[in-house]
Structure 1
Amino acid sequence: MTYDAVTEQDPLGMRGIEFIEYLSPHPDDLGAVFTRLGFRLVARHRSRAVSLYRQGDMNIIINADDIALSSRTVQDEGDQISAIAIRVANANQAYHHCIQQGAWAVPTRADVMELKIPGIRGPGDSTLYLVDHQHKVSIYDVDFEYVSDDHNPPALIGGLKFFGVVQYINPESTAEWIRFHARMMGFRALPPQTRFGILPQGTILQSPHGHFYLQLIEPVGDALFDAEWYEQLARLAFGTPDVPATVRILRERGVSFEDNEFAHPDTQGAVTAGLSFGINFEIVRCPATPESP
């Protein structure tokens, strides 16, 4: 079976993540954070305040567009993950599959000569975009202008990749979100004892072929009564074959890590600390995935 095959277990023909998008009122500060993580600014949108950062096969979009910022349901000064773009076998077919399964369509705001990417509503204000992973023309070539001839800077650390995203969910809604991600994209819940990294809360969902993971977390303790708790894509995790080496390299670049009685770097993972406007990241040791491309 090829990774392009659409099956009952893999209804989108999912091949991985095309980009992670952040909505940010402070794009320069957030861009500096990603630069410390090894990303490089490679392009800017032709008509909006949107920037593309890249290293290796990973793309980060920082969206500071006024219309996008004003459309947020939860108005705060923080940066947040606003979209995940998924590489699929056929974007049009994947989109219609999701709509048939009950997804809410997200209107695309594409101007003249801009690329229209289909998307569905994700957690909170977020969007799940669907991108053909065998598209003959890069989706960025249409909407962005490159800042130099170097469009593809290498990864800072060998093997570094997108690992997954933490999703905050409402109380007692884990089963509902498991069904949503299974119907739409073929994610499956892993056994309760399965844990990656050093933050073991919640339920872990795995994408077809183990390309990507979601960690569903319900509020516990005082968070049950916290007015600031809302459903959202909350934190991005990077996978690496060697967590201590990755932590050492990133520390040398000015990235600090939580190191206290609740969280400290070890061979399984680490959590960054003190970054831009409430944003932090996880570093997770990659599990063995024999089907990885």
Structure 2
Amino acid sequence: MVNSNTPGDAPNPMGMDGIEFVEFASTEPIRLGRHLEALGFSAVARHRSKNVLLYRQGSVNFIVNGEQGGHAQQYAQQHGSGICAVAFRVRDAALATRYANERGGWEVDSAPGVMELRIPAFQGVGGSLIYLVDRYQDHSIYDVDFVWLTGAEADQAPLLLTAVDQLVQRVQPGRLKEWQDFYAHLFGFRAHPHSVAGECLIESPCGKVRIRLETAAGERGDGGREGLHAVRLLAPDLPAAAAELAQRGVRLGESLTPDAYAPRVLHTLHEAGLVQFEMASQAD
């Protein structure tokens, strides 16, 4: 077991320390990349041997995977553009992997290529993967698997969005408790007090990862399938960000469902698939 606790002494069995990246599978990676750029992200690095780009804004790392073959493209072919993986930061990936296996997690062979890091991965919702990353300080995983693009960081636009606030996971009716137990059992997530009917907001023991579990509905256009369908990002100034995004041609809609955690939420749907980005004020 990983003996690491938060300052409040909440048990943190995996030694979690936030989100390292969110990975998108897309059959139209260029189009998705343009949408991210419109949201203020910049391409900062390219994979050494694959059609994979790293986009960054603030502390947010988004990976767009357009590589033919492999898990991401299989996911995109089956589900359309979407979130195919999320990487959790952990203090020690080897110890965290052992703990997850002992708790019945389904480890998946990530099949690293030549000169690539082997990052432990576990089966997540809807065929997605959960990676465990312990290289995120002085020497990150990107220093091994990616080549930094010249001047990319210097050319980054002013920050509109600074951090990941929530991942949004749709689940089949009647399975909210089942998925809540899954994250609690493996990672030590606990229920957050801000929840509404038909949803459950859970939070990691480190306090840096929130997942909103919501009941899937077939009329949403995805057949009611389970999966990670949205990511909510924080804006230091939501009205200013909305105005800037509108000037960039990003079509924004306001959340129509009650949300106890963030009273005002804007969202944009990537046109090339069911990839939804939500934006909430940093102060909420």
Aligned to 1:291: none
Question: In the alignment, is residue 20 of structure 1 matched against residue 22 of structure 2?
Answer: yes
Aligned to 1:75: 78
Give how far 1:213 is off.
1.2
Aligned to 2:267: 271
* Contact 2:38/2:250, CA 8 A, preserved across alignment: yes
Question: In the alignment, is residue 189 of structure 1 matched against residue 184 of structure 2?
Answer: no
* Contact 1:263/1:270, CA 8 A, preserved across alignment: no
Question: In the alignment, is residue 104 of structure 1 matched against residue 106 of structure 2?
Answer: yes
Corresponding residue SS for 2:100: helix
Give how far 1:73 is off.
8.8
**Partners of 2:37 and 2:69 in 1: how far apart?**
26
TM-score, normalised on structure 2?
A: 0.86
Q: Structure 1 residues 194 and 49 mapped into 2: Cα distance closer, same or farther (>3 Å)?
A: same
Question: In the alignment, is residue 235 of structure 1 matched against residue 241 of structure 2?
Answer: no
Q: Paired residue for 2:280, among 274, 277, 284? A: 284
**Partners of 1:125 and 1:140 in 2: how far apart?**
24
- Letter of the structure 2 residue corresponding to residue 205 of structure 1: I
Aligned to 1:45: 47
Corresponding residue SS for 1:38: coil
**Partners of 1:149 and 1:242 in 2: how far apart?**
27
Q: Structure 1 residues 51 and 117 mapped into 2: Cα distance closer, same or farther (>3 Å)?
A: same
Q: Structure 1 residues 237 and 201 mapped into 2: Cα distance closer, same or farther (>3 Å)?
A: farther
Question: Which runs of 5 or more structure 2 residues have no equivalent in the other structure?
Answer: none
Aligned to 2:253: 258
Q: What does residue range 52-63 of structure 1 map to in structure 2 within 5 Å?
A: 52-63=54-65
Q: What does residue range 95-244 of structure 1 map to in structure 2 within 5 Å?
A: 95-151=97-153, 156-157=158-159, 160-191=162-193, 194=195, 202-220=199-217, 223=219, 228-244=223-239
**Partners of 1:4 and 1:159 in 2: how far apart?**
30
Aligned to 2:38: 36
- Letter of the structure 1 residue corresponding to residue 38 of structure 2: R
Q: Structure 1 residues 151 and 160 mapped into 2: Cα distance closer, same or farther (>3 Å)?
A: closer
Moved more, 207-216 or 267-276: 267-276
* Contact 2:25/2:75, CA 8 A, preserved across alignment: no
CA RMSD in angstroms comes to: 2.9
**Partners of 2:118 and 2:235 in 1: how far apart?**
33
- Letter of the structure 2 residue corresponding to residue 248 of structure 1: A
Corresponding residue SS for 2:181: helix
* 1:48-90 residue CA offsets vs partner (Å, 9 max, x unmatched): 11111112221110111111355339725x2100111111111
**Partners of 2:15 and 2:156 in 1: how far apart?**
27
**Partners of 1:10 and 1:59 in 2: how far apart?**
23
**Partners of 1:58 and 1:173 in 2: how far apart?**
29
Moved more, 158-167 or 110-119: 158-167
* Contact 2:32/2:270, CA 8 A, preserved across alignment: no
* Contact 2:57/2:161, CA 8 A, preserved across alignment: no
Give how far 1:243 is off.
2.2
**Partners of 2:59 and 2:182 in 1: how far apart?**
27
Corresponding residue SS for 1:72: helix
Task: Please state which structure has a larger fraction of its residues in strand.
Answer: 2
Give how far 1:45 is off.
1.1
- Letter of the structure 2 residue corresponding to residue 111 of structure 1: G
Moved more, 251-260 or 3-12: 3-12
